[in-house]
Amino acid sequence: MPTDPLIEARVLVIDYGAQYAQLIARRVRECHVYSEIVPHELTAPQLAALRPSAIILSGGPRSVHQPGAPGIDPAVFTLGVPVLGICYGQQLMATALGGEVARTGVAEFGKADLSVDAPGSLLFSELPGEQIVWMSHNDAVVKAPSGFVGVASTSSSPVAAFEDHDRRFYGVQFHPEVVHSERGTEILKNFLYRGADLLPSWTMTSIIETAVEQVKEAVGKERIVCGLSGGVDSSVAAALVHRAVGDQLTCVFVDHGLLRSGEAEQVEDTFRRHMGIDLIHVKAADRFLESLAGVSDPERKRKIIGETFIRVFEEVARDELEDARFLVQGTLYPDVIESGTKDAAKIKSHHNVGGLPDDMKFTLVEPLRHLFKDEVRRVGEELGLPEEIVWRQPFPGPGLAVRIIGEVTPDRLETLRAADAVVLSEMRKAGLLRDIWQSFAVLPAVRSVGVMGDERTYGYPIVLRAVTSEDAMTADWARLPYDLLERISTRVVNEVPGVNRVVYDITSKPPGTIEWE
């Protein structure tokens, strides 16, 4: 787990439960301090090798008294690094340093009234003495370790927060990272700025400057190629690398014919005409459709599309890019986290360009691998990419093929593309595109009975899917206004031939996924 020498201040979030760790890392970055997530199995020397400026112990679903519960190397507390424990992390800190954690007989889940009991508290400096926090625990710290002072409490948590100023150790029983803790961000800032003496220097300017320097150092004067999909990630990665190395970059846009309406044209217009990037536009729709003929299984579709993409890319590299040694990928930080999580379940094949043949001998360049999606969008804006690309909703690498439930055919593609264009048009008119994580149409390859103009019809249904999310790890179905749903349904049925029904998917993730395949 190498460190990045160009990042001066680094907060390590030790992961005791993935959803907590990711949210904490995001909140720290919103305070303009760089953070990254590390597994709880790391020893103190391994953590020290990452040169942390501060450490945060995340919450987690286990009890510290449960057999097999994840622990911490006690030597972490001898590194001389400021530490903040959150929920399970606070309890872990308490037990490791000689405090006491026990069941109080009253669990706390949800909102709780917190009282600040120490006026000189660092965590609650310049904050109200009474505030609402978000709790989620059965156990609680009932006795603080030696050297700590209890600084806040609730009716069920006698030590809802404690502090040891001399060693710069702090802990809170509640979750400051969630929006329900009304002063949570200020509490995190107090730890970062006052407890750890960090500066808010993780800004868009510093991110871009750091990435540009990294790319220049890695690539030198060599030629570099980017597999451009037209999505946010690959587009921002290409723009960032172009800023670093200019005409050393060639973008290859493999148009598999599975994009949304107008996207292929927009990619060419943006990158070739407006940004002056050397772009090879490979129009391969027929080849992809031939390879998908007769295939209905979603995982097979993904593998076929991925394999065909690789073959096309390989041919271009052999024929036109023989001297290119580096390949740009739009890998994001959540991709890095998921790939490095040993217990992660396989939900679907990864959508980035993967499995490139060994004999292509490309060295990967991943300028966005430290960033979350929202950070990538802000970088894109800073680099001058058009709003239509920067704020484009996430789109699967296999494109519309995985939004057709069944075999992919040219007719079904055109039907889905037309319906999807209506959805995006109406969402844009309603001013909701930025508020919704994803909104799109799905075409199940089944037919249902309908009546249009006194005639019985037998047409496709279109499933409308719209979800809200922060990072796609979890998602909730969007409560769209009824009149918007009505407009979408009316337009799809009236304007898209072969469709006679529109339904709305109101399943959250979990138990469902965002995409249907």
Q: Which residues contact 228 (CB under 8 A, 6 or more apart)?
A: 234, 235, 238, 251, 252, 253, 267, 271, 279
Residues near 322 by Cβ (< 8 Å), separated by ≥ 6?
none
Among this protein's residues, is 320 annotated catalytic?
A: no
Catalytic position from the list 40, 137, 175, 256: 175
* Helical spans, DSSP H, in 451-512: 482-495
Q: In a 10 Å sphere around its CB, with 0-12 CB exposed, 13-18 middle and 19+ buried, how is residue 386 labelled?
A: middle
Q: Which tokens hold the place of 147?
A: 């050297």
Distance CA(427)–CA(408), nearest Å, equals: 26
If you count them, how many residues does the chain have?
A: 517
Among 31, 87, 226, 251, which one carries the catalytic annotation? Answer: 87
Tokens of 97: 């340093």
177 in active site: yes
In DSSP terms, which residues pair with 165 in a beta bridge?
A: none
Q: Are 459 and 501 in contact (CB under 8 A)?
A: yes
For the record, the structure tokens of 327 come out as 């390949």
Active-site position among 30, 108, 177, 375: 177
Q: Is 251 a catalytic residue?
A: no
DSSP lists the bridge partners of residue 162 as: 150, 171
> In what order do the strands lie in the sheet containing 35-39?
35-39, 11-15, 54-57, 83-86, 169-172, 161-164, 149-153, 100-116, 130-143
Active site residues: 87, 175, 177
